[in-house]
Amino acid sequence: MAYPKSANAEREVMQVNNVQRKPRILLAASGSVASIKFGNLYHSFAEWADVRAVATRASLHFIDRASLPKDAVLYTDEDEWTGWNKIGDSVLHIELRRWADIMVIAPLSANTLGKIAGGLCDNLLTCVVRAWDYNKPLFVAPAMNTFMWTNPFTERHLIAIDELGITLIPPVTKRLACGDYGNGAMAEPSLIFSTVRLFYESRMQQSAKNASPTAIETHPRLFNKIYAFGDSFTDTGNTRSASGPAGFGHVSDPPYGSTFFHHPTNRYSDGRLVIDFVAQSLSLPLLPPYKYLKGNDSFHGVNFAVAGSTAINHEFYVRNNLSIDNTPQSIQTQLLWFNKFLETQGCRGEETKAQCKAAFDDALFWVGEIGVNDYAYSFGSPISADTIRKLAVASVTGVLQSLLKKGAKYMVVQGLPPSGCLALSMSLASVDDRDDIGCVRSLNNQTYVHSMALQASLQSLRRQFPEAVIIYADYWNAYRTVIKNPSKYGFRERFKACCGVGEPYNFELFTVCGMSSVSSCKTPSEYINWDGVHLTEAMYKVVHDMLIEGGFTHPPFSYLLDMKRHKG
């Protein structure tokens, strides 16, 4: 079999004589019964891209070669060895790595996942992965039995491949081939194809903008309003010092707000938050907090997020003697606030369709990260992290479902950040509990698994509400990318808090930012962490840019904007 023509350079320019060539997609299948869909997947990609395929020996048991296009190019392990005879001959797995712009492994079996995570390369597929240039995208769509998917080994392996930069297209819950019902089925070929294509086209658009010295990124006012939900990372003022979370009851005092507003605004930062930058990028004013609305403040949206908020209803913590008296709000509370707000807009059900339509038309729903507080409040209790994750994801999913049923059409849902990188976590955890970037391993693993479960839930909502555009914002990987190379983004301090006291992280649990005895650093823009738990304006700006322009949303945020332009 002829090998793909080798590129002259490791990364071939996609523009030749001003004519854009097709993207080059390397599809790969491993030994899962989901390989019966490989022909369908190949056809989907072949209509758009130049496709080559790799199949493991086990996958060939399920792949019907007759289902592939007649001109399909399918490489097997035998091709790796029969095509090489002497020094100087091309090596197939190296040539495939050079040729491809993107690699997609679908299905990814538990066995092949374990091999990739461990760096093994005993067949053509794993040799390509081991030689892969991780500046180029690599997507995987796992497929395995539910008990394999929930096995602790799988969690470890997923974290390992995530650290390589591999993008997960999560499995879905359905009746499996073995007869069991549960999570572990490969995502549908149409979803895999659309995810990869949208990612590629978004990256190409961004590359074109970057190549033009006069290009300025602007988003005309496609949305007239934003409704925001979440916790202190998104709260623009629903919390005051007297009502703040335990240990952080000074948000109404300087130096909070000192960088941009030059006075406290009840935001847990020195300046603006991600949601503020989102509003500005969409040519909208900053969102007013729901609890302190005045006059026509709500014309361009409302922020329902509140610091200390949990995903699980507060009653759960009361029943288990884990309640925090001054933070009784949950995301369910925020939904109740939203419903009350709708009533003030004249939206009261079927008899007021026009008013309801006005409230939802041209609205972006932004659901900020929420769930970190649930793990924090249950820390040290008999309640397991698995229980918290299941209850929290179910609660958030229920709220999203309610908003979608009411008429939400455009929605962004943030995952959790790697909370093990916060100064609070670093100061309390054992020094032995560290990951490859120096953060608290156990907490980062916890938030990573939570975010994966949330992504799987969003896929289910997309199937239930096909007319809605639901975007996942990958806070975890965006934040982690900055931590791995802080100087690239202008940061000098990865872990130390700007505002605080104490060594080694400038944080003490009972002497916190906002107290008269605590001062802040002179240059917050050089710090990632503001007060030990929350981030600086500079970091929030970087995260915003990574989510909105940098490819850390799935599908890309540009897809949401395009759909809004086309559908209105």
**Peptide bond connecting 288 to the previous residue in cis, omega within 30 degrees of 0:** no
Q: Which one is catalytic: 157, 534, 544, 554?
A: 534
C-alpha distances (whole Å) from 223 to each of 118, 428, 543 are 46, 43, 21
DSSP lists the bridge partners of residue 105 as: 28, 140
Compute the CA torsion angle 109, 112, 118, 119 (nearest 10 deg).
-140
Amino acid type, 157: H
CB 385 within 8 A of CB 446: yes
Q: What is the DSSP letter of 186?
A: P
Amino acid type, 239: T
Q: Which one is catalytic: 44, 232, 243, 330?
A: 232
Opening angle at CA 195, ends 8 and 140, nearest 5: 70
Token reading at 363: 């609205």
Q: Up-side HSE of residue 109: CA atoms within 13 Å toward CB?
A: 19
CB 432 within 8 A of CB 512: no
| Coil, strand or helix at 184 | strand
CB 421 within 8 A of CB 437: yes
Q: How far apart are CA 555 and CA 558, in angstroms?
A: 8
Quick one: which of 55, 45, 1 has its CA closest to 23? 45
Q: How far apart are CA 526 and CA 521, in angstroms?
A: 9
Q: Is 232 annotated in the active site?
A: yes
Q: Is 281 annotated in the active site?
A: no
Q: Which residue has the tokens 């806070």?
A: 475
**Peptide bond connecting 245 to the previous residue in cis, omega within 30 degrees of 0:** no
| Cα-only R_g, the chain | 25
Q: Which residue has the tokens 């035998």?
A: 78
Compute the CA torsion angle 278, 311, 144, 417 (nearest 10 deg).
50
Q: Is 531 annotated in the active site?
A: yes
DSSP secondary structure of 329-385: -BHHHHHHHHHHHHHHTT--SGGGHHHHHHHHTTEEEEE----HHHHHHTTTSSS-H
Q: Which one is catalytic: 276, 374, 435, 531?
A: 531
By the 10 Å C-beta count (0-12 exposed, 13-18 middle, 19+ buried), 66 is classed as exposed
Catalytically annotated residues: 232, 531, 534
